Amino acid sequence: MLQKLSYQTFWDTFYNHPKNTLENITAYVNVAFTHEQIYKELKDDKTIFIIAEIKSDAVGYARLTFGNYEHGIIAKRPVELVRLYSTQEYLGKGVGTKLMEECIEIAKKYNCDVIWLGVWEHNGRAQSFYRKHGFEIVGDHIFYLGSDAQTDLLMQKNL
C-alpha cells in the first residue's frame, strides 16, 4: 500500500510539469519507490511514516527522518520532513494539514528543535503550504530527478 501510494502521489504531482521529462520522472520513481526501497525506509529506526486514511483508504502520507542535516539548517536536534503527499482527489481538503500537524507533534515528542524540508523551486503550491505552516526558506540544495539537477529550497520551522 505504501509503495503504491508513494509512487502514485509523486507521479501525479510532478509528471505533467513542463520542466520535467517522462524519462527523468520514470527514472526517479523506478528507484525511489520500489518495494525494496520502501521496505528499507520502513526498517530504518530513524524514520517514521504517517499514513492518512479516509474510510480505510490511504489518501496521503508523510515521512520523517531524524538526525539529518543540510548546509543552512540551524538545529541541534533536527527532523527532516522527507515527504508529505496526498492523492490528487484530496488536495486542498485538509489531508496535508492533518499530516503536518501530526509531523509537528511527533517532532516535539522526540524533542526536536527544528523540522526542515526541501521543496522544488517550481512547486509554488507546496511552498505556500509550508509557509502557511510557519516554514521559512534558509537555503537551497540540488535534488536529482533522474539525470536532471533541480534546485530545492530548504525550509525550516523552529519548534
Cα separation, 134 vs 57, whole angstroms:
29
Any idea what DSSP says for residue 149? E
Q: What is the pLDDT along the chain (159 residues), one digit of tens a residue?
A: 999 999 999 999 999 999 999 999 999 999 999 999 999 999 999 999 999 999 999 999 999 999 888 988 999 999 999 999 999 999 889 999 999 999 999 999 999 999 999 999 999 999 999 999 999 999 999 999 999 999 999 999 999
Q: What is the pLDDT of residue 3?
A: 95
Distance, C-alpha 1 to centroid of its chain: 17
Q: What is the pLDDT of residue 148?
A: 96
Domains of the chain: 2-158 (3.40.630.30)
Query: Which one of 39, 69, 130, 144 is the catalytic residue?
Result: 130
Give the DSSP H or E segment for 40: helix 35-43
Q: What is the pLDDT of residue 69?
A: 85
**Catalytic residue at 130?**
yes
Q: What is the pLDDT of residue 126?
A: 95
- pTM for the predicted model, two decimal places: 0.94
